[in-house]
Structure 1
Amino acid sequence: MKITLAQQRPVYVAGVGWHRFQKPGPTPYVQLGLTAVRQALGDAGLGWPRVDSAYTATAMLGMAASRPLLKHLGVTGIPMMQVENASASGSSAFRLACHDVAAGTSDVSLVLGVDKLPTSSGASNATGVPSLAADYVPPVAHFALLADEYLDRAGAKPEHLAAVAVKNFANAALNPNAQRPKARSPQEVLAGPPIAGPLTRLQCCPLGEGAAAVVVVSDDAIDDLGLDRSRCVRVLSSSLRSEELYGAKSFDAELTRATVADAYAQAGIGPDDLDVVELHDAFSIEELQYIEAMGLAEEGRAALSLAAGEFDLGGRVAVSTSGGLLGFGHPIGPTGVAQIGEITTQLRGEAGARQHPGARTGLAHMVGLGAVCAVHVLQTP
């Protein structure tokens, strides 16, 4: 019988930190990462010697990125692991740290996500089995086709897709760590330039670099180390699944549906219990698809619910308060960790101008090329 996170020791997020997501530049990855780690440790009120294990999420840096970065904090001999799972790298590293602490192997575990633009091509280009569609259906074309299908099925318009970006840019404008911290009008989003099908440039997440870190602790460690329990957010569930066969249905949405359902069951909650959600909106159509797959809107109704303000700050459930991948940015390795940091900040009531009132339960969702999906549910005490 498999054991879920909820059946082990209680696990909490005690500290969060970031290096602002930004356009590709000369900043060394070590500087990006150390900025986030030091902020997370300071936020938790912990020193580096208290950390029992470390998981570093990267998708583009290459191998052995952890120790050249973390040695600057001190050489303590702790186990370190580098985690790569495409866009879900950070979420996967967080899952490993949670299970590490829940199982009692560690009391304090650091999760760091850090990335810069790739120096080599991905593994999919070295399989020895060429893909017939690779040159014709890159990710943006795939999601453009899904957007066309959704607009036709739901009776929606390109303006409904643009509304996703408008909402998320408005949130990003309130996020000091966002790569695109500027509110945009529907006219600006729709003006282009067009990238594929109905998707314009501002409906596609930007390339960039940055870092995010969180500190995961056991219930015992909160008291033993004198941490502030009121700022420690419980991780109720962790679910990670890979793609199955879904027939003609969108595998992105169906994979999300199955993974979220598992996370709900582990946490003992349903969609009506959620207050804040961070989801994988690399392209605007994804938010509409995933909102429906999560049970936050009826099939084909997400666009109408969005237009009614149900997913705004102060709405029924706030979606992508950070600005999402569209506004916050998507430097790959750090993205899933940054989502956990955002939800933790919301559930603490510390999000400032972008605070969603009464936030108590949150869900973080990332899809990774491959395809995998990671979902975590967090709740304030």
Structure 2
Amino acid sequence: MANRVCIAGVGMIAFAKPGASEPYHLMAARAGRQALADAGIGYDALQQAYVGYVYGDSTSGQKAVYELGMTGIPVINVNNNCSTGSTALFLARQAVESGAADCVLALGFEQMKPGALGTVFDDRPSPFEDFDREAEALVGMPELPLALRYFGGAGLGHMQKYGTPLEAFARIRAKASRHAARNPLALLRKELSTEDVMNAPMLWPGVMTRLMACPPTCGAAAAVLVSEAYARKNGLRTDVAIRAQAMTTDRPDTFDSRDMMKVVGAGMSRAAAQSVYEQAGIGPEDLDVVELHDCFAHNELITYEALGLCPEGGAAAFIDAGDNTYGGRVVTNPSGGLLSKGHPLGATGLAQCYELTHQLRGTAEQRQVDGARVALQHNLGLGGACVVTLYEATA
């Protein structure tokens, strides 16, 4: 039988703008120490470490982990674009669930530079060649930065297909700011109105304003995963467990559908969510709180439908009804999400884990979702990979 996997400890440092943070290994070590302290164990209890980052040289994971200790354990470096942190979590969960290890660290960090994301190695084929081809055919706009072009194009596709107004994306960003105002670890904590977002400079006329995109961010987050048997033997907490998890990558319809929403991972997201619901024997109506990948307001809106939080084409009505926030059907991104909390690529998935663990413990303070018992995490990386994780409160 598979081992039940519990979240024994979590850690996260306040996210910062590029140039305003510590070096990556010091940020990572602080988050790791927090997770170990939260779990009530020392570094010598860890049997493996999965360490995620995107922008860094090989074995940066070892550089970060060696700040915590040097016990000779396996340290596995993970890079899966923006889903890197949750991929580290996925691998750590597999190790514990399978019995390969009983106590594992998942750690993610990023030390980013200002400006839009782009490729680093320009002397070889880009992993985004197929994505660029589809974007060129479907939306053009080659002058735009890569991620803005993809996700803006996906939002435009939703607008054209369902008549979604630009204001729907603005309302998502305003909601994110209200949530982040309650989060001391978020990068952007100023509350914004829908009008503030609409009146910001246009990045893509009629499609996206500057405030609808997440900022480049530096930060780190971590989680200690243990088997339930190990936790009980060693007096560790078992009050939050991973009930189901799935990781998906692209299928042919990413490129064959002629649909920018599929190009940016809506199909991967839907498949991963369906797998998780089937594993757990529940549906989206059973969720209390969700942390999803809102790198752009456009992707949050598309993801509502991919996760089954509302019907296809129903996202604008879902937003209008306030069903994505406190007092509505399911609170989405109580942390402020990537849009306001920030998006240090390698840390994002583990920062989501940090938030949901505290929500299920009932320790999220001003952000607490009343009675939260079931939580869903969605983390997406273009290229591509999507990880969806279902957590439950067991106490």
Q: Indicate conservation of the 8 Å contact 1:213/1:338, yes or no.
A: yes
Matched, 1:156 2:164: yes
Structure 1, 152-161 or 122-131: larger mean CA deviation: 122-131
Structure 1, 136-145 or 21-30: larger mean CA deviation: 136-145
Report how many residues are paired. 373
Structure 1, 134-143 or 335-344: larger mean CA deviation: 134-143
Partner of 1:214: 223
| Offset at residue 269 of structure 1 (A) | 1.5
Paired letter, 1:19: I
Return the alpha-carbon distance in structure 1 between the equivalents of residues 61 and 306 of structure 2.
35
Matched, 1:35 2:23: no
**Structure 1 length-normalised TM:** 0.93
Matched, 1:379 2:388: no
Q: Indicate conservation of the 8 Å contact 1:314/1:357, yes or no.
A: no
Structure 1, 30-39 or 83-92: larger mean CA deviation: 30-39
Match of 1:248 among 234, 258, 265: 258
Match of 1:53 among 38, 48, 51: 48
Return the alpha-carbon distance in structure 2 between the equivalents of residues 126 and 238 of structure 1.
37
SS in 1 for 2:335: coil
Q: Indicate conservation of the 8 Å contact 1:17/1:39, yes or no.
A: yes
Paired letter, 1:97: A
Partner of 1:302: 315
SS in 2 for 1:311: coil
Return the alpha-carbon distance in structure 1 between the equivalents of residues 387 and 161 of structure 2.
27
Paired letter, 1:241: T
Q: Indicate conservation of the 8 Å contact 2:32/2:68, yes or no.
A: no
Structure 1 gaps, min length 5: 1-6
Paired letter, 1:308: A
| Offset at residue 121 of structure 1 (A) | 6.5
The alignment-based identity, stated in percent, is 37
CA deviation profile, 1:233-264 (whole Å, cap 9, x unmatched): 11011211111122133212122111111111
Aligned pairs for 1:152-191 (under 5 A) are: 152-191=160-199
Partner of 1:273: 286
Return the alpha-carbon distance in structure 1 between the equivalents of residues 304 and 327 of structure 2.
17
Structure 2 gaps, min length 5: none
Matched, 1:23 2:2: no
Structure 1, 275-284 or 65-74: larger mean CA deviation: 65-74
SS in 2 for 1:73: coil
| Offset at residue 117 of structure 1 (A) | 1.7
Matched, 1:312 2:325: yes
| Offset at residue 124 of structure 1 (A) | 6.7
| Offset at residue 57 of structure 1 (A) | 0.5
Matched, 1:237 2:235: no
Cα RMSD of the aligned pairs, angstroms, is 1.9
Partner of 2:296: 283
Partner of 2:2: 8
Q: Indicate conservation of the 8 Å contact 2:2/2:98, yes or no.
A: yes
SS in 2 for 1:22: coil
Q: Indicate conservation of the 8 Å contact 2:242/2:391, yes or no.
A: yes
Return the alpha-carbon distance in structure 2 between the equivalents of residues 292 and 124 of structure 1.
35
**Structure 2 length-normalised TM:** 0.90
Return the alpha-carbon distance in structure 2 between the equivalents of residues 330 and 63 of structure 1.
21
Q: Indicate conservation of the 8 Å contact 2:85/2:350, yes or no.
A: yes
Q: Indicate conservation of the 8 Å contact 1:61/1:118, yes or no.
A: no
| Offset at residue 276 of structure 1 (A) | 0.7
Matched, 1:63 2:78: no
| Offset at residue 11 of structure 1 (A) | 0.3
Paired letter, 2:250: E
